[in-house]
């Protein structure tokens, strides 16, 4: 055995012959090991006896041959250990271990993702690297007359689309095939849940996009900016505001702050009777916010017309320390929840209302029903499509528009397949592509 070496004092070298290297001859059919020539009794070496090199311990030479170390093929020096840190220098301590019996949260399990087939036709699984490992997927529903829902599939959607097409429509088979692709594309989209949250003090606990929320006084409102700016055609989708004074105060102040001049209320009279208050109908105060009738404009009621929906217009002046804003509150009283309305009729209704109250092209509006994700979205997309230029129609598609409102509002927007079917037929009539064109 080798004698122990003192790592803290460099050993003296008695005699080292660097010119002589150990040679060995590999026998035929004998396995080769790079250190097999060192005291390997299982393999016969054809090599001359190397000259012994002696090393002494400490500063005094040791002549006892029992302590002489036979060193073969060894480096000419002994490696020193790593230097110790200087005194009074703080060395980073390892992270503290958690206390006993304390459960430590495990990192989230990464979901697998299939890679495209390689040239070797491998089917590889790798994790998706994202900020959040949780996703939201849209679900399509079909509601019956009693308001009960069931999960819908592509066949249900095609039945709804087919029922809305005119009997003399050409290329029905192609339209239905394209509609099926539209449905499947939309239903397969995934949305990162980290971008959505449930807003406190809202009527409905639904996940809303947290990147474009309407706010007032640092309070988040259950309303999302869908398009435009304060100075150019702002469009906001909202829930029906909660009826307590504090929430109504924040909601009305946000209308003043964002220069909203038209509010469309799509909740039916029945919805309001059982759930909320008609905040827009009469003069009322909510803390420092006052809602009063416009001194020079009268309420207008339109009912039982063949080509348009029923609607009521309530011109109001909303004042608070935030400022003053003239707002037309437009109520459509008989649009039942979880249902669609004829998009052509809705287009004519919007045109009539805009002409009646003399809306400019860059006016700002907010739309809400109860939840602000079904009827609200049908109206916003009908308004968008009816005002598109030919160039805009060429550059977008219904698929992209629906995906956009789901990104900006909630993945569950336009959940009712008959609302989506109505928009599908309306887009076809406006010569707007149903599917995204990857070339633009």
User: What pLDDT sits at residue 389?
Assistant: 95
pLDDT band at residue 275 using 50, 70 and 90 as cut-offs: confident
Lowest model confidence (mean pLDDT) among 24-38, 88-102, 405-419:
24-38
CATH number at residue 301: 3.90.190.10
Q: Are both 212 and 76 inside the same structural domain?
A: no
- What are the b/e assignments for 117-145, b being 16+ CB within 10 Å? eeeeeeeeeeeeeeeebeebebebbbbee
**Is 204 inside a domain boundary?**
yes
Lowest model confidence (mean pLDDT) among 29-38, 99-108, 164-173, 179-188:
29-38
Domain finish residue from 81, 99, 115: 81
User: What pLDDT sits at residue 43?
Assistant: 46
**Is 64 inside a domain boundary?**
yes
> What mean pLDDT do residues 302-308 have?
96
* Ramachandran area for residue 147 (φ above 0: left; ψ -120 to 50: alpha; else beta): left
pLDDT > 70? residue 377: yes
Show Cβ contacts of residue 43 under 8 Å, excluding neighbours closer than 6 positions: 27, 30, 36, 37
pLDDT > 90? residue 86: no
**Is 5 inside a domain boundary?**
yes
Task: Give 370's Cβ-side CA count (13 Å radius).
Answer: 19
User: What pLDDT sits at residue 7?
Assistant: 40
**Is 357 inside a domain boundary?**
yes
**Is 196 inside a domain boundary?**
yes
Beta-bridge partner residues of 223: 238
Q: Look up the domain containing 350 and give its range.
A: 187-429
User: What pLDDT sits at residue 169?
Assistant: 85
pLDDT band at residue 438 using 50, 70 and 90 as cut-offs: low
Domain finish residue from 58, 81, 104: 81
**Is 166 inside a domain boundary?**
no
pLDDT > 60? residue 152: yes
d(CA 426, CA 282): 36
Domain finish residue from 81, 105, 127: 81
SS (H, E, C) the chain: CCCCCCCCCCCEECCCCCCCCCCCCCCCCCCCCCCCCCCCCCCCCCCCCCCCCCEECCCCCCCCHHHCCCCCCCCCCCCCCCCCCCCCCCCCCCCCCCCCCCCCCCCCCCCEEECCCCCCCCCCEEECCCCCCCEECCCCEEECCCCCEEECCHHHHHHHHHHHCCCCCCCHHHHHHHHHHHHHHHHHCCEEHHHEEECCCCCCCCEEECCCEEEECCEEEEEEEEEEECCEEEEEEECCCCCCHHHHHHHHHHHHHCCCCEEEECCCHHHHHHHCCCCCCCCEEECCEEEEECCCCCCEEECCCCCCCCEEEEEEEEEECCEEEEEEEEECCCCCCCCCCCHHHHHHHHHHHHHHCCCCCCCCEEEECCCCCCHHHHHHHHHHHHCCCHHHHHHCCHHHHHHHHHHHCCCCCCCEHHHHHHHHHHHHHCCCCCCCCCCC
User: What pLDDT sits at residue 9?
Assistant: 45
**Is 158 inside a domain boundary?**
no
Domain count, the chain: 2
Beta-bridge partner residues of 208: 197
pTM across the whole model: 0.70
Beta-bridge partner residues of 198: 207
Instruction: Select the more confidently predicted residue: 67 or 286.
Output: 286
8 Å CB contact between 340 and 414: no
d(CA 232, CA 255): 15
pLDDT > 80? residue 210: yes
Q: Are both 230 and 374 inside the same structural domain?
A: yes
pLDDT > 90? residue 399: yes
Reference 239, options 215, 258, 266; nearest CA is 266
> What mean pLDDT do residues 55-82 have?
47
C-alpha distances in Å from residue 356, one per residue of 255, 300, 309, 311, 328: 21, 9, 14, 12, 11
**Is 17 inside a domain boundary?**
yes
């Amino acid at each position: 055995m080798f004698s122990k070496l003192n790592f803290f004092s460099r050993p003296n070298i008695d005699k080292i012959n660097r010119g002589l290297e150990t040679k060995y001859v590999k026998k035929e059919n004998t396995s080769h090991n790079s250190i097999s020539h060192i005291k390997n009794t299982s393999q016969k070496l054809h090599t001359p006896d190397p000259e012994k090199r002696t090393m002494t311990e400490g500063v005094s030479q040791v002549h006892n041959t029992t302590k002489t170390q036979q060193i073969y093929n060894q480096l000419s020096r002994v490696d020193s250990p790593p230097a110790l840190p200087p005194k009074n220098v703080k060395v980073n301590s390892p992270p503290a271990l958690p206390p006993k019996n304390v459960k430590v949260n495990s990192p989230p399990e990464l979901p697998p993702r299939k890679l495209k087939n390689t040239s070797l036709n491998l089917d590889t699984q790798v994790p998706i690297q994202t900020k959040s490992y949780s996703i939201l997927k849209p679900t399509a529903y079909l509601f019956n007359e009693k308001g009960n829902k069931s999960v819908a599939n592509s066949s249900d959607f095609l039945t709804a689309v087919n029922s809305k097409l005119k009997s003399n429509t050409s290329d029905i088979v192609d339209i239905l095939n394209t509609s099926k692709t539209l449905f499947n594309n939309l239903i397969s989209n995934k949305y990162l849940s980290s971008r959505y949250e449930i807003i406190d003090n809202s009527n409905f606990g639904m996940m809303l996009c947290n990147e474009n929320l309407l706010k007032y006084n640092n309070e988040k409102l259950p309303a999302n900016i869908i398009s435009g700016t304060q100075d150019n055609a702002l469009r906001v989708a909202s829930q029906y505001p909660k009826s307590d004074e504090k929430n109504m105060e924040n909601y009305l102040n946000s209308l003043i702050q964002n220069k909203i001049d038209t509010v469309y209320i799509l909740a039916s009279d029945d919805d309001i009777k059982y759930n909320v208050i008609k905040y827009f109908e009469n003069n009322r105060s909510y803390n420092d916010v006052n809602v009063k009738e416009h001194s020079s404009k009268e309420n207008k009621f339109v009912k039982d017309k063949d080509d348009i929906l029923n609607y009521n217009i309530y011109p109001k002046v909303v004042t608070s320390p935030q400022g003053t804003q003239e707002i037309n509150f437009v109520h459509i009283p008989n649009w039942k929840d979880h249902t669609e309305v004829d998009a052509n009729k809705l287009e004519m209704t919007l045109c009539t209302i805009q002409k009646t109250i003399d809306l400019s092209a860059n006016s700002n509006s907010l739309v809400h029903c109860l939840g602000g994700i079904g009827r609200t979205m049908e109206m916003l997309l009908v308004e968008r499509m009816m005002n598109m230029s030919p160039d805009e129609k060429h550059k977008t598609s219904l698929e992209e528009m629906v995906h956009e409102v789901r990104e900006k509002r909630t993945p569950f927007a336009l959940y009712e397949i008959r609302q989506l079917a109505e928009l599908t037929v309306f887009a076809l009539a406006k010569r707007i592509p149903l599917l995204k064109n990857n070339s633009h």
